[in-house]
C-alpha cells in the first residue's frame, strides 16, 4: 500500500498551500502521474494537477515531472498545491490600491499599515482582498470559492510589497518559489538599541507562545516550533535606536519581530513584543515625551517590506520591485536623526 502524508509546510506562507509526500508500493503498476494523484488527493481536479506539473511543483524522486510521467514502484512523489483561504461571499469593495506592477498574470501592491490582507475573524470587510475583488473584473473560481491569489502575507500593521496571483498557473509557480525560499524579501525596521555587530544572523525555532496564542516565541533548542533564519544588517545607528535591513531565509509568522526581540532589539513601537515602551535610554521627562511623540507619529510597529524579487512565472524574467518608506516611517526616522544630532552637539 502507498504511504501518504501531508508534509511540513513552509511557514506562514505554508498556510496558503498544501505539501504532500507519497511513496508508492512495490506492486505499483505504470500509471500516468496525473491520474495517480487524482485518486489519492482529495478535492483536487485533474486540471489543477496538470497545472502544478507544468509549474514544476510535482516531483518524482526529487525531479520535476510532466503529467504523462508513469509512476513506478517505490517512487517518492512530492506535490505542492496552492491552498487559498476558504473565503465565502467575498464582497467586492471600492478601494484605492497602490499598485506597483500589474500584468495579466500577477499584481504587486504596496500595502499600507493598518490594512488587513484577507477576511477573517473580526475582519469580514474592508480587507485588501475585498479591494482586489473590486479591482479584478473576475477572480478565477476554484471549487466554488473566489480565488484570492495569495501566496504570502504581511501583518496588519506592517507596510510594504505583496504579490497577488491572477491565474492558477501563476499561483502554483509563485507558491513553489516561496516554498523553495528563492524569493528575495528585504524588510527595513527601526529597532531599539545599538547592535554590537554591523551584520548578523539570527537562528532559532519559532512557534506559538505556550501561554499566549497571539504571540510567537523563539525556542533555541528546537524543542518547539519550526526552523527560522533571519539575516540583519545595520543601515544607520541613531543612538538609542537603529535602522536595520532584514533578509528572510524562512517565512515564519512574525519572524522579524520575534527574532529581533529575542536578541534584545525589539521593533520600535511593536506592542506585541515589547517595543511600545522605552527599551533604551534614560527615562527622564524630556526624553520620555520625545519617544511618546514618536509613538504617536507612528502608531504601529516600524517595519516595512521594502524589496520583493521573484521569477516571473510566464516570461521567466527576474523581477525586483522596491518601494520607499511610508510617510509615518520617514517622519519618525527623521525625528530620531534630529534628536541624535542634538545629542552630539
Active site residues: 155
Q: Grid coordinates standing for 163?
A: 504579490
Whole-angstrom distance, CA of residue 270 vs CA of residue 247:
19
Instruction: Transcribe 22-84 into DSSP letters.
Output: EE--TTPPPEEHHHHHHTTSTT--HHHHHHHHHTT-EEETTEE--TTPEE-TT-EEEEEEE--
Whole-angstrom distance, CA of residue 115 vs CA of residue 54:
34
* Helical segments of 229-310, H only: 255-262, 285-297
Packing angle, helices 285-297 and 327-344, rounded to 10: 160
For the stretch 66-84, what's the b/e string if a residue is b when 16 or more beta carbons lie within 10 angstroms of its beta carbon? ebebebeeebebbbbbbbb
214: left (phi over 0), alpha (psi -120 to 50) or beta: alpha
Q: Grid coordinates standing for 262?
A: 529575542
Whole-angstrom distance, CA of residue 115 vs CA of residue 97:
11
Interacting residues of 70 by C-beta distance below 8 A, sequence separation 6+: 30, 31, 32, 33
Q: Do 247 and 230 touch, CB atoms closer than 8 A?
A: yes
As a whole number of Å, the end-to-end CA separation of the chain is 76
Amino acid at each position: 500500500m502507498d504511504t501518504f502524508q501531508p508534509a511540513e509546510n513552509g511557514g506562514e506562507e505554508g498556510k496558503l498551500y498544501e505539501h504532500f509526500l507519497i511513496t508508492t508500493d512495490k506492486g505499483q503498476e505504470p500509471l500516468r502521474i496525473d491520474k495517480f494523484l487524482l485518486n489519492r488527493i482529495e478535492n483536487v481536479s485533474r486540471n489543477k494537477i496538470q497545472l502544478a506539473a507544468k509549474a514544476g511543483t510535482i516531483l518524482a524522486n526529487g525531479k520535476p515531472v510532466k503529467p504523462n510521467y508513469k509512476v513506478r514502484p517505490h517512487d517518492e512523489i512530492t506535490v505542492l498545491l496552492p491552498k487559498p483561504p476558504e473565503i465565502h461571499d467575498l464582497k467586492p469593495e471600492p478601494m484605492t490600491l497602490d499598485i506597483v506592477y500589474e500584468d495579466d498574470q500577477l499584481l504587486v501592491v504596496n500595502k499600507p499599515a493598518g490594512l488587513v490582507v484577507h477576511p477573517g475573524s473580526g475582519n469580514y470587510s474592508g480587507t485588501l482582498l475585498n479591494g482586489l475583488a473590486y479591482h479584478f473584473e473576475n477572480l478565477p473560481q476554484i471549487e466554488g470559492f473566489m480565488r484570492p491569489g495569495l501566496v504570502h502575507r504581511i501583518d496588519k500593521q506592517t507596510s510594504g510589497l505583496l504579490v497577488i496571483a491572477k491565474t492558477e498557473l501563476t499561483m502554483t509557480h509563485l507558491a513553489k518559489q516561496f516554498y523553495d525560499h528563492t524569493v528575495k524579501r528585504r524588510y527595513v525596521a527601526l529597532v531599539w538599541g545599538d547592535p554590537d555587530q554591523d551584520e548578523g544572523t539570527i537562528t532559532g525555532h519559532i512557534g506559538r507562545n505556550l501561554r499566549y496564542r497571539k504571540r510567537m516565541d523563539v525556542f533555541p533548542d528546537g524543542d518547539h516550533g519550526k526552523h527560522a533564519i533571519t539575516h540583519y544588517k545595520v543601515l544607520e545607528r541613531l543612538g538609542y535606536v537603529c535602522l536595520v535591513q532584514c533578509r528572510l531565509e524562512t517565512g515564519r509568522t512574525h519572524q522579524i519581530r520575534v527574532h529581533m526581540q529575542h536578541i534584545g532589539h525589539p521593533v520600535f513601537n511593536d506592542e506585541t513584543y515589547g517595543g511600545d515602551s522605552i527599551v533604551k535610554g534614560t527615562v527622564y521627562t524630556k526624553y520620555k515625551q520625545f519617544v511618546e511623540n514618536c509613538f504617536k507619529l507612528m502608531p504601529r510597529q516600524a517595519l516595512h517590506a521594502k524589496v520583493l524579487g521573484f521569477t516571473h512565472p510566464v516570461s521567466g524574467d527576474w523581477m525586483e520591485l522596491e518601494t520607499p518608506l511610508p510617510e509615518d516611517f520617514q517622519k519618525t526616522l527623521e525625528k530620531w536623526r534630529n534628536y541624535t544630532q542634538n545629542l552630539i552637539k
